[in-house]
Each structure stands twice: as C-alpha cells, then as structure tokens.
Structure 1
C-alpha cells in the first residue's frame, strides 16, 4: 500500500527538489493541489489531514499554521522550515546524530538547516566523545550557493544585471536563525559565533569550524578527531569522513548536485591548529535530500531511496 504524501509549498525550491527525487517512485501517492487551491486554507487543510505524511516547505509562520490545521491526530509531519527545530515534541531530522530509530518512529520531524547540518555533523560527535568540551567557544565560517536564499535570492543573482556580488557576508547582527539548532543539537553550552556568506554559485556549501588545540581535551590530535568522526559515521551511506585529501584547496562545488556529506580534518604538523570542514549541497543533504531521507525512514523504506549519491 502506497504512502499518501502531501508537500505543502510544493512550488518552492525545496518542494520542487523533493518532487524530483520522488519522481517515478511507486511507494508514494502524491496529493497535489492546483495553483488556486495551494492558496486556499480549506483545501490545504483537507490535503494535510488526508495525508499519511506531510512535508512543509513553507515560511515559519505558515508552517506553524499548517501544523495547527492537522486535526485528526494521525498525519505525520516533516517541517523544512525553522519553526520547530528546537521545539519540544519534535525530533531533529539528522538521523546520523539524532538516531535513525528516533526519526523512524517520530510523528513530528524538523528538517535541519543547511549550514546547521555541516556544523552539527562535525561538532556533535566530538562533543559527545568529550574531545571538544561542551563549554568551548566555537566559531563557524561557511559559504553557500545562492539557491539557499529561495526564489527572491535566486532572482537577485540570476537577474538581467548579473550577480550582485562575488562574495556577500551576512548575519552581521549575530542572530542567524540556524544558531539555536547548531548550539542545541551539538550539546554546546554557548552559542557558536556564526559567519555565513553567499557566493555566485547556484548550489554547493562549505562549513568550517576552526580550532586551537588549547581549546580541546588533553592530548586531542587531528588524527584522534578524524578517527572519532569516522567511528561515529561508520557504515553511513550518506556521510563519509575523508582519511586523506590531496592538495591545499577544497572547492565549494565538491558535492554540489548530490545528497552526500563529506567531513574533513585538516591540521598543521603539531595539530596546534585544526580546521574541521564539511562539504555538502545546500539543496541536497542541506534541504531536499535530507527531507527525502527522513521521509524514507518514516515510511519504513530504504534510507537512500531516490537520493543522489
């Protein structure tokens, strides 16, 4: 029997990417609304309550309203917005950190943010292993393709006047919406200092956490950090840890167009300075790929079905 699925916000970038990954898959019976009905709350409510699983690709307030429309108490939800990422009763949808069983059994799953995915994948296992102290004062530098900004930023960068800039830093108020989940899901006592940027590339992402050895637990080396990450993600079909990397550069396009995530540990010979780096696609493991992975788990299907690996 197929799973009845409704994507609320299917016309947006994330929704379209999810639909592409589900194309031709007979496990799902997709509930679809025409353009007029997509803006009709009664039609949306009917679709939400008819679904076995609903994926919300909406702004935060609209996502909260959609959850409130679910009256029958049975529809399961994957929310791709920020609205529920630190909310009680919601499972954080990074199965490799939160646990596959937790996602599989959850009624409410909050899809992680793209930057957050890279940061948490690097930091959470190392905090849990006691290699990075929970009270460490961490910073995170990251760069993303412009598609992460949705339709308005895509139009901005693909307009007739060309890309507005080669490098745009933002969140200078130090209040980026991903920071609470980055802190909470990593088990950190303090907010990381987050410095995101956008570059004139459609998709792709690099997330970096620089470390001084003095910040770490005694005798922690780059090799020990790398091995701890490799042990944590051993057997994962989606997240891998590079044991070596040729060259002194890493391109933001490294995993663009895929749903994979690759982690790196770079250091000087004494491991006195260390750079933890995650490469992913902001639309893949950072958004739509992650939603499909969570959907597969919740539906009792192979975790990687439909993913671009």
Structure 2
C-alpha cells in the first residue's frame, strides 16, 4: 500500500521539486490541497494529520506552526526543510551519512540539513570525529550557490536583472546556519562563513581552507582523504575524488543532481589543504536530501528516485 505524503509549502522552490519527484513514484500517494485550500488552516491541519509523512517546505515560523497542528496520536512523521529544528532536542538531523541511516529510518521528526552546512559538514564532521582535525580550530567556510537557493524573490531578482554576476551576503556575520555547522560538526566555535550567490540557477561549491602547518594535531592531506573515502564508502550519494583535477567548474547549464562530490587539494609541501564540496543546492542541499530521508523512513532503498 502506498504511503501518503503531504508537502506543506508545495508552491515553493523546494516543495515544487519534491512534488515533481514523488508524483510518478507508486510507493507514495501525494495529498494535495488545491488553490486557496493550501492556505486554509483547517484543510492544512487535516492533511498534516491524515498523512503518513509530512514534508514542510516553509519559513521557520510557519514550520513551527505546522508542527504544532499535528496531533500526538496522528502517527504523522515529519521532515522539515526549514532551519527551525536543525539543532532542536527530539529531532533527528537528516544527514544519514553522518548520523546513521538507522537513526533517520526510525525517526518521527527529521530536520533537513541546510545546503551550505551539507557541504561543510560532509567535509569537516568526519575528520573532527576521527581526531584528524581539531574541534577547537576557528574554521572558515567560503561558498557560492545558485540563486534558486534564495527562493522566489531572489530568483526573480537575478532573472529580472541580468547584470548580477555575484552577490555576497551575510556580511554582518551571525548567519542562521552557523549553529547547525558548529553543533553537528562537533566544533567549539562558530566558523567564519562567507556565502555568496552566483548567476546560475543551481549548483554549489563549498570550500574549507586548512593551514595544516599551523594546526596542532591535524593529519596530513593523504590521511584526510583516506578518512573521507572510508567514511563514505558504499554511499550511493557521497563520492570522494581519488585524484583531483586542475580546476573545478560550476556550469550554469548543469542538470539537477543529488550527488555530493568531495575533494582534497594539497600544496606541494603539504602545509596547506583546501577541502571542497560540490553539490546541487536543490539536490543533496534540499529536495534530494528530503527524499533520501523519506526513502529510509518508508523502508525503501536509500537512493530510490534520486538523480545519481
């Protein structure tokens, strides 16, 4: 029997892509609210409590309101794509490669990781956990994303003004992803985070530069790469490059993908390393991650329906 899924916020960028991906899959039956019923509180509450799974693609406050509408005895299991619950007690972080597939599979409440934290944590968390990088280092994160990650307003801004090539933001620090990066990375300090948006609809590059010669207790580049390769061995989603190219490219014409590719670049003397993660901000960075978690929660193959 097909599991019922209600996507609350199905008209947004992430919600639209989740619905598009789930619609042809016989394992799931979508509960759909048409027209004005999407904003009708009673209709939403009924759908949230009737569904086997609710995927929330809403702003933070609206996500909290949606969770509050779910009755304790409804049996509805939730995947939330906002930042509201990513470090909240009682919620499982929806990064199965990091927290464990069984943890996600059995969870009642799953918080979908942010796109930038996905790249950062994929690189740093396993290495800190293994003791190959220090937990107390003041890490920096340099990252660029396609403009689709900013939602409808930013998409319109980029597409209406064809002269924007790069948009730096978060310049006052205190970005909402920092707590997520610190907590799930096992770090003592918030990283210094430098996000930017580029003139491409989708795609993302996340870099973590490491001055190894100044980092007490840090392993060398070969050990870092070997640990990442072993940690993600067998994953259908996360890949670790065994040989790194002379350049990395994000193409504006790239099709959607749920893969996450990790690179370790080292200086000739080994004193410096640049860790890189390449992903689709709408794939493993958003809708693809939600579907990966949904697959596990529904007892299906982890990679079912993913673009791999």
Do the two structures share a fold, i.e. TM-score over 0.5?
yes
Residue 199 of structure 1 pairs with residue 198 of structure 2 = yes
Partner of 2:127: 126
Paired residues of 1:140 and 1:194 also in contact (CA < 8 A)? yes
Q: Which runs of 4+ in 1 moved over 6 A?
A: none
For residues 162 and 140 of structure 2, what CA distance do their matches in structure 1 show?
Answer: 32
Paired residues of 2:23 and 2:30 also in contact (CA < 8 A)? no
Deviation at 1:256, TM superposition (A): 5.2
Deviation at 1:23, TM superposition (A): 2.6
1:122-143 CA-to-partner distances (Å, cap 9, x unmatched) read: 0000000001111111000000
- Structure 1 window deviating more from structure 2 (14-23 vs 276-285): it is 14-23
For residues 285 and 21 of structure 1, what CA distance do their matches in structure 2 show?
Answer: 14
Partner of 1:33: 33
For residues 215 and 233 of structure 2, what CA distance do their matches in structure 1 show?
Answer: 23
Q: Tell me the secondary structure at the aligned position of residue 24 of structure 1.
A: coil
Paired residues of 2:166 and 2:196 also in contact (CA < 8 A)? yes
Residue 250 of structure 1 pairs with residue 248 of structure 2 = yes
Please give the residue correspondences for 1:44-59 in structure 2 after superposition, counting only pairs within 5 Å.
44-59=44-59
For residues 231 and 84 of structure 1, what CA distance do their matches in structure 2 show?
Answer: 30
Q: Tell me the secondary structure at the aligned position of residue 205 of structure 2.
A: strand
For residues 215 and 296 of structure 1, what CA distance do their matches in structure 2 show?
Answer: 43
- Give the root-mean-square deviation of aligned CA atoms: 1.3
For residues 72 and 157 of structure 1, what CA distance do their matches in structure 2 show?
Answer: 42
Paired residues of 1:131 and 1:216 also in contact (CA < 8 A)? no
Q: Tell me the secondary structure at the aligned position of residue 66 of structure 1.
A: helix
Q: Tell me the secondary structure at the aligned position of residue 35 of structure 2.
A: coil
When residues 91 and 111 of structure 1 are mapped into structure 2, their CA distance, relative to the original with a 3 A threshold, is same
Residue 113 of structure 1 pairs with residue 114 of structure 2 = yes
Deviation at 1:275, TM superposition (A): 0.1
- Structure 1 window deviating more from structure 2 (165-174 vs 78-87): it is 165-174
Deviation at 1:170, TM superposition (A): 0.5
Partner of 1:156: 157
When residues 126 and 230 of structure 1 are mapped into structure 2, their CA distance, relative to the original with a 3 A threshold, is same
Deviation at 1:35, TM superposition (A): 1.5
Partner of 1:186: 185
For residues 188 and 209 of structure 1, what CA distance do their matches in structure 2 show?
Answer: 14
1:33-61 CA-to-partner distances (Å, cap 9, x unmatched) read: 01110010110000000001100000000
1:208-250 CA-to-partner distances (Å, cap 9, x unmatched) read: 0000113445472111100000010000010010010232x10
Partner of 2:236: 237
When residues 63 and 219 of structure 1 are mapped into structure 2, their CA distance, relative to the original with a 3 A threshold, is closer
Deviation at 1:168, TM superposition (A): 1.1
Partner of 2:220: 221
For residues 278 and 6 of structure 1, what CA distance do their matches in structure 2 show?
Answer: 31
For residues 7 and 128 of structure 2, what CA distance do their matches in structure 1 show?
Answer: 35
Q: Tell me the secondary structure at the aligned position of residue 289 of structure 2.
A: helix
Q: Tell me the secondary structure at the aligned position of residue 6 of structure 2.
A: strand
- TM-score, scaled to structure 1: 0.97
Partner of 2:304: 305
Paired residues of 2:158 and 2:199 also in contact (CA < 8 A)? yes
- TM-score, scaled to structure 2: 0.97
Partner of 2:19: 19
For residues 276 and 58 of structure 1, what CA distance do their matches in structure 2 show?
Answer: 31
When residues 200 and 147 of structure 1 are mapped into structure 2, their CA distance, relative to the original with a 3 A threshold, is same
For these two proteins, the number of residue pairs brought into alignment is 306
1:69-100 CA-to-partner distances (Å, cap 9, x unmatched) read: 00143110000000000100000000000110
Deviation at 1:22, TM superposition (A): 1.2
Deviation at 1:253, TM superposition (A): 3.3
Partner of 1:274: 273
